[in-house]
Amino acid sequence: MNSRALRQQPTPAARIVERRPPHPGGPRQRAAALPTSPTVLVKQAPPFRMASRESHPESTIVTAGCVSIGTGELVVMAGPCSIESRQQIRETARRVKAAGADMLRGGAYKPRTSPYDFQGLGRKALGWLAEAGRESGLPVVTEVLSPEDVDLVAEHADMLQVGARNMQNYALLRRLATSTKPVLLKRGPSATIQEWLLAAEYLLSGGNPQVVLCERGIRTFETATRNTLDLAGVALAKQLTHLPVIVDPSHGTGKRALVAPASRAAAAVGADGLLIEVHPCPGRALSDGEQSLDPGEFAELMLTLRPHSVALRA
């Protein structure tokens, strides 16, 4: 048995193999190493019970405002990393809407590695975001950082984002499980696909069936890109769960020139949508400027994108 086999065995996909012979993973080769008694087979079921496609074969469609995610159509969410002014978010909304975006994103509460970095404009920015969404007719998604902010953010947003750093912030997940708003759950930078689906399980088992997963790159030894975008992992997640899976090519690459090719690849791999950072003037952005597109670059990308979309339908 070589180390590849070792490394691969007890993964979500592998653990489903025994029950779906024609599934990738090669039942024959595994047979030897995997248990065979029914009792044990039960133990091999995916631990993300409600999130698994086994438990719920057809794809779930999540609705944010007037937009449906998971239908097979690529849903594009665009906007600035941080909301910096009323004018900035309104102009961005107008521009991304004109280019064909389906939803507006923007950060009011920013989790920052350093306490000395810009932390977002908070409550005030939430109002501007909601207004820009109404004006442009785009539902809005924004991040919520702590349980006590959930109600306030839910008043202004159509979808609540859990950032990568908070994927395993269980106090926050438990609170969001009781919200009536859909949740966008980002994958943690060092979370396995199974841990990501188990974080979704906190939301589903807590009572909120409206969960969209977002791959945004994992942390690896490679530093030429901000993160390593795990696009094959998106294809695997789509096979393991019935929940929609979207991709954030902006954080996933950290470089403006990689956002367009990564977006096309995400569409081609079967993602249900994209979350793209767009800023009217990336060079002046208070955060993530170097990975933000300007409205013109975003419009160009949109023209090349949809032909690649092949989101998996159940």
Q: How far is the CB of 292 from its own copies (least distance, A)?
A: 9
Q: Considering only residues 107-126, where is the footprint of its own copies by CB under 8 A?
A: 111-117
Q: Beta 140-143 vs 62-64: how paired, if at all?
A: unpaired
**With respect to its own copies, which residue has the nearer C-beta, 158 or 215?**
215
d(CA 254, CA 248): 10
The residue from 68, 152, 165, 299 that contacts its own copies (CB under 8 A) is: 165
Q: Considering only residues 264-293, where is the footprint of its own copies by CB under 8 A?
A: 264-270, 282-283, 287-291
Size of interface with its own copies, in residues (CB under 8 A): 109
Instruction: Give the binding range for its own copies (CB under 8 A) out of 3-11, 52-60, 62-70, 131-139.
Output: 3-11
Q: How far is the CB of 111 from its own copies (least distance, A)?
A: 6
146 binds its own copies (CB under 8 A): yes
Query: ∠ CA 34-39-42 to the nearest 5 degrees?
Result: 75
224 binds its own copies (CB under 8 A): yes
The residue from 59, 169, 179, 210 that contacts its own copies (CB under 8 A) is: 169
The residue from 74, 78, 140, 145 that contacts its own copies (CB under 8 A) is: 145
Beta-carbon-side half-sphere exposure of residue 259 (alpha carbons within 13 Å): 26
The residue from 55, 68, 71, 192 that contacts its own copies (CB under 8 A) is: 192
Q: How far is the CB of 16 from its own copies (least distance, A)?
A: 10
